């Protein structure tokens, strides 16, 4: 097993070769930080999305899902604070004209120091950066970059501008544009899905007769004009979020924040990924809407990085929308407050948010699953690339492989395919040697292969091969569906 070496370049190449991810509009040299999911990738992504959606909505009585539009009234973003506050401190290199997000530039430097064995320096620089970011101390951050002689990756120089704030939202025009080219119809591509939930809070609460505490979940596209987009699909300009806003009584936010921190980590671990690959990271600099926040970080091939955020968003968003829309965002709570003996009455709920990037979760799942294995002996070299995907997420669950194209074997294989395809995704393949077909299925992450051979005609048994162990056993055809269904449910 070679997962200790840097698997990242191999993983990226694998994603393209096997139809998981392609650079967007590749024939035109691509578009930076935008990617397309191929025939295998879209299936895996859908399975991750469904797995999250089912966990949130089907398995929680008090959480429902919505699907709000990407375009929203522009005042939404004024109210939410994104127009004024959704900025990142940026710095330009005067020689290469390349613009960097300051925290990414410094983190990149720290990663290099770590790789070179200078752990103390890396930690010191990151600690210093966190403290300076928390104070919005741009002079201090510039000094940190200068003192450490942090270079531009393109020009190799330290010739930096001052640090300035840039807004990350994309905008476009709605409706017709005047002949002068001028418009006051500016709309934004949402930078988070959360606001579609907040503006619908009362619609859902009233139409669904929801009682606090309750949650609203949503999956959808979000857009951010990330200046430095790095690490494949880790930081994209167009990506998908899976977010849930949990509406609670004011004063209960600490306990619900802890609850959702634990609950979300549990969801990750239930996929069979070991706990030591995860850690929490408390935010030092809180977003403009939060009174507590942390990230769930995963150890990607390039280090521990955020995959999900848990945010205690107070009543900030609903209060802001109430103020800007002049519509009441209150909830009437008729439960009895034991301290007063009266109903809790009217209030604007507090909110705990869980927010995970679908693409980032995709990268996590692939990083964990991808293995380059050396199976050879000194006189007989052999190797394979296998994706040890959790069976419930795998794009194909069962490969059905007749040993030869004749003697009635394809007919039996087709019957098996017809019996199983309504329950889970099957794949039929009769080309190439059986060994080659197994290897291809390993590379796609298919957990089970069944081979139909001449013995099948005599006793209605097939050989089932398990992807991870490569073990094979003989089983009756009638058992195939049960074995696969048990693993994926």
Going across the sheet that includes 164-167, the strands are 99-101, 87-92, 164-167
**What is the chain's alpha carbon radius of gyration, rounded to the nearest angstrom?**
26
Minimal distance, residue 88 CB to ligand GAP, in Å: 11
Measured from the CB atom, the residue of 49 and 421 that comes closer to ligand GAP is 49
Contact string 302-341 vs ligand GAP (x = CB under 6 A): ----xxxx--------------------------------
Contacting ligand GAP within 218-247 (CB under 6 A): 224, 226, 235-236, 239, 241, 243
Residues in binding contact with ligand GAP, number by CB under 6 A? 19
Q: Give the contacts of 62 (CB within 8 A, at least 6 positions apart).
A: 210, 211, 213, 214, 215
Measured from the CB atom, the residue of 14 and 101 that comes closer to ligand GAP is 101
Question: Residue 83 and residue 79: Cα distance in Å, rounded?
Answer: 8
Handedness of CA 131, 133, 135, 137 (dihedral sign): positive
Minimal distance, residue 289 CB to ligand GAP, in Å: 9
Measured from the CB atom, the residue of 357 and 447 that comes closer to ligand GAP is 357
Measured from the CB atom, the residue of 297 and 333 that comes closer to ligand GAP is 297
Question: Residue 240 and residue 44: Cα distance in Å, rounded?
Answer: 14
Nearest to 233 by CA among 41, 25, 446, 7: 41
Minimal distance, residue 351 CB to ligand GAP, in Å: 10
Give the length of the chain: 489
Phi, psi for residue 477 in degrees, rounded to 5: -55, -35
Long-range pairs for 433-442: beta carbons < 8 A, 24 or more residues apart: 434/401, 434/403, 437/399, 437/401, 438/465, 438/470, 439/384, 441/396, 441/399, 441/467, 442/384, 442/385, 442/386, 442/387, 442/467
How far apart, in Å, are the Cα atoms of 57 and each of 82, 252, 300, 397?
28, 22, 28, 24
Q: Give the contacts of 177 (CB within 8 A, at least 6 positions apart).
A: 183, 185
Minimal distance, residue 188 CB to ligand GAP, in Å: 14
Minimal distance, residue 65 CB to ligand GAP, in Å: 16
Measured from the CB atom, the residue of 55 and 113 that comes closer to ligand GAP is 55
Contacting ligand GAP within 88-147 (CB under 6 A): none
Minimal distance, residue 7 CB to ligand GAP, in Å: 20
Contacting ligand GAP within 172-201 (CB under 6 A): 192, 194
Contact string 346-375 vs ligand GAP (x = CB under 6 A): -------x-xxx-xx---------------
Minimal distance, residue 244 CB to ligand GAP, in Å: 10
Measured from the CB atom, the residue of 296 and 385 that comes closer to ligand GAP is 296
> For binding to ligand GAP (CB under 6 A), which residues are involved?
192, 194, 224, 226, 235-236, 239, 241, 243, 306-309, 353, 355-357, 359-360
């Amino acid at each position: 097993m070679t997962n200790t070496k840097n698997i990242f370049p191999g993983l990226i190449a694998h994603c393209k070769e096997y139809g998981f991810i392609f650079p967007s509009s590749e024939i035109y040299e691509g578009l930076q930080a935008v990617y397309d999911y191929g025939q295998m990738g879209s299936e895996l992504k859908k399975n991750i999305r469904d797995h999250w959606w089912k966990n949130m909505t089907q398995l929680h009585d008090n959480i429902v899902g919505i699907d709000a539009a990407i375009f929203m009234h522009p005042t939404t973003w004024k109210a939410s604070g994104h127009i004024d506050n959704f900025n990142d401190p940026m710095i330009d290199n005067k020689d290469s004209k390349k613009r960097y997000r300051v925290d990414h530039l410094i983190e990149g430097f720290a990663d290099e120091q770590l790789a070179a064995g200078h752990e103390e320096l890396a930690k010191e620089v990151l600690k210093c950066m966190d403290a300076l970011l928390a104070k919005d101390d741009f002079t201090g951050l510039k000094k940190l970059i200068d003192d450490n002689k942090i270079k531009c990756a393109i020009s190799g120089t330290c010739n930096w501008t001052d640090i300035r704030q840039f807004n990350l939202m994309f905008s476009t025009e709605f409706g017709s544009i005047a002949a002068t080219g001028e418009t006051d119809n500016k709309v934004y591509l949402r930078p988070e899905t959360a606001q579609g939930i907040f503006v619908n809070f009362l619609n859902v609460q009233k139409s669904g007769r929801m009682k606090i505490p309750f949650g609203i979940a949503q999956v959808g596209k979000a857009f951010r004009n990330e200046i430095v987009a790095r690490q494949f699909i880790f930081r994209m300009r167009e990506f998908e979020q899976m977010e849930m806003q949990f509406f609670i009584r004011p004063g209960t936010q600490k306990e619900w924040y802890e609850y959702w921190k634990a609950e979300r980590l549990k969801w990750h671990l239930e996929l069979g990924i070991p706990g030591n690959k995860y850690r929490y990271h408390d935010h030092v600099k809180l977003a403009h809407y939060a009174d507590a926040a942390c990230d769930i970080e995963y150890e990607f091939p390039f280090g521990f990085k955020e995959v999900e955020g848990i945010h205690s968003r107070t009543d900030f968003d609903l209060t802001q929308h109430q103020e800007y829309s002049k519509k009441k965002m209150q909830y009437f709570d008729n439960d009895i407050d034991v301290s007063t003996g009266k109903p809790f009455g009217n209030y604007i709920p507090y909110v705990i948010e869980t927010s995970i990037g679908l693409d980032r979760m995709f990268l996590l799942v692939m990083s964990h699953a991808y293995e380059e294995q050396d199976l050879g002996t000194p006189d007989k070299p052999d190797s394979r690339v296998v994706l040890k995907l959790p069976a419930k997420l795998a794009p194909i669950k069962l490969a059905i492989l007749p040993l030869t194209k004749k003697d009635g074997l394809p007919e039996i294989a087709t019957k098996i395919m017809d019996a199983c395809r309504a329950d889970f995704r099957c794949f039929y393949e009769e080309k190439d040697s059986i060994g080659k077909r197994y290897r291809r299925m390993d590379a796609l992450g298919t957990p089970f292969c069944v081979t139909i051979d001449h013995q099948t005609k005599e006793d209605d048994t097939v050989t089932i091969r398990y992807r991870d162990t490569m073990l094979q056993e003989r089983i009756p055809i009638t058992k195939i569906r049960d074995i696969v269904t048990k693993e994926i449910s």
